[in-house]
Amino acid sequence: MVVSYIGISSLNYSCFPPRLCFAKRKQSAVSAAMSDDPISDWILSEGNATQITRTSPIGGGCINNARRYDTDAGSFFVKTNRSIGPSMFEGEALGLGAMYETRTIRVPRPFKVGPLPTGGSYIIMEFIDFGASRGNQSVLGRKLAEMHKAGKSEQGFGFDVDNTIGSTPQINSWTSDWIEFYGKHRLGYQLKLILDQYGDSTIYQKGKRLVKNMAPLFQNIVIEPCLLHGDLWSGNISSDKNGEPVILDPACYYGHNEAEFGMSWCAGFGGSFYNAYFEVMPKQPGFEKRREIYLLYHYLNHYNLFGSSYRSSAMSIIDDYLLMLGV
Which pLDDT value is given to residue 34?
42
What value does the mean pLDDT take over residues 31-38? 67
- The gap from C-alpha 156 to its chain's centroid, in whole angstroms, comes to 18
How many angstroms separate the Cα of 77 from the Cα of each of 53, 80, 128?
14, 10, 8
CA–CA distance, 217 with 201 (Å, rounded to integer): 25
**What is the set of active-site residues?**
231
pLDDT in tens, 209-256: 999 999 999 999 999 999 999 999 999 999 999 999 999 999 999 999
Which CA distances in Å does 265 have to 177, 228, 233, 254, 294?
27, 17, 8, 21, 11
User: pTM higher than 0.95 for the full model?
Assistant: no
Listing DSSP states for 132-146 in one string gives SS---HHHHHHHHHH
Residue 168 has pLDDT above 50, yes or no: yes
**Which pLDDT does position 159 carry in this prediction?**
98
Instruction: Specify the pairing of strand 237-239 against strand 245-247.
Output: antiparallel
pLDDT tens-place string over residues 284-320: 999 999 999 999 999 999 999 999 999 999 999 999 9
**Under 8 Å between Cβ of 62 and 79:** no
The predicted-structure confidence for 128-166, as pLDDT tens digits, reads as follows: 999 987 789 999 999 999 999 999 999 999 999 999 999
